[in-house]
Amino acid sequence: MFKKILVANRSEISVRVIRACRDRGIKSVAVYSEADRESLHVRLADEAVCIGPAQAAGSYLNVDAILSAAAVTKAEAVHPGYGFLAENADFCQACQDKGLVFIGPKPQAIRNLGFKSAARELARRAKVPVVPGSMGLLGEDFMKEAHQVGFPVMVKAAAGGGGKGLRLVRDPKDLEAQLRMAKAEAKSAFKDDSVYLEKFIEHPRHVEIQIAADEVGGVVAFPERDCTVQRRHQKLIEESPSPAVTPEIRRRMQEAACSLAKASGYSTVGTVEFLLDTDGSFYFMEVNTRLQVEHPVTELVTGLDLVDIQIRLAAGEQLPVAPERAGEIRCHAIEHRINAEDPDRDFAPCPGTVERLSLPGGPGVRVDTHLYAGYTVPSYYDSLLAKLIVSAPDRAGAIARGLRALREFEVGGIKTTIPFHQKVLAHPVFRDGKFDTRFIEATSCAT
């Protein structure tokens, strides 16, 4: 087992990984930008190294600075968290070249599965159903390919995720302009403007399967997470099990996810994402070759520690959990992403100083956060402040517990999305569980 791990990230995910290290008796190293000098992850780590200015390009995306910090502190492994360099194959390779263990997949697996068009082709070969789309990256015949796929179509960046480089095109006359904007956004976000086309599914749910795999071919699949409640392709609420997934659909999704992992030689934890249609059909969408923001949902439902499993797999252990244990559903869990945004001003970012903080507690309530009273939320990064995860024996109980916990959750001095989450939980469509990815736009929850 490792003696020291460097966490190449910031905010709540760094806190989460540092705590997992401490549970296992592993020393942790935090890296931080000048804007994050007072962040909680810096305080909790055994060692901390400043790696650059506030702008992410000079700090959290600065590979040389991170590798230098690992060398200076004599870290043996690097945990990338999510975002930033977590799905960057070149960073993974650079870690390996320096003798560091990258706590994640191998560089080639990131290239094969993190690059969406390549992942689609792998899925086809593994006989995993995929959304109809272009047979590769778009070239000069983009209009012809779009007509072959059939409008409406989605223009999608081949690299990255998080809703970047993504455009819905219903009318052929809009395709060229939307394609140009998608490519520009992809180039800015991922330094790669490659795009491809997918058929647009009108009323889908976004359902994903968490997997874990070891180096000797063992693969397990966990219960699904439903990530359908989104705004502008950004997940806001996740839950497990999905109110739309039957045991048979779950079994088929898990089998498809495991087949793809085996076909690609994948190892470590990861997530296979699907679109679920109204008729029960599902289609492969992409693979996230990292820990997900919403991983605590699976942890509460199964009672397993995914970060610990991830670290153990990186240390060369075989899967520490049997398939039947990984698939157990012990409760219903719902996660709320609490952001520093003002729902009354079209979710405008609201950085600033946290003047007071009161976190909810009690049975079935977990809060993952880097906040504390007096902390100043910087304007340079993602607006995620905390993740409130609640669990109960059934969905109705989880909703009731979520409403109670949201009422207890107080963040003074800045605007947050807590009122938005209260609206969603109180909405009859959400309570009925009969919604699709356009739920937020189709209701009054976003206003």
Q: Is 290 a catalytic residue?
A: yes
Taking the C-alpha atoms of residue 343 and residue 340, their distance in angstroms, rounded to an integer, is 10
> Which of 16, 167, 231, 290 is the catalytic position?
290
Taking the C-alpha atoms of residue 297 and residue 187, their distance in angstroms, rounded to an integer, is 32
Taking the C-alpha atoms of residue 38 and residue 405, their distance in angstroms, rounded to an integer, is 27
Catalytic positions are 290
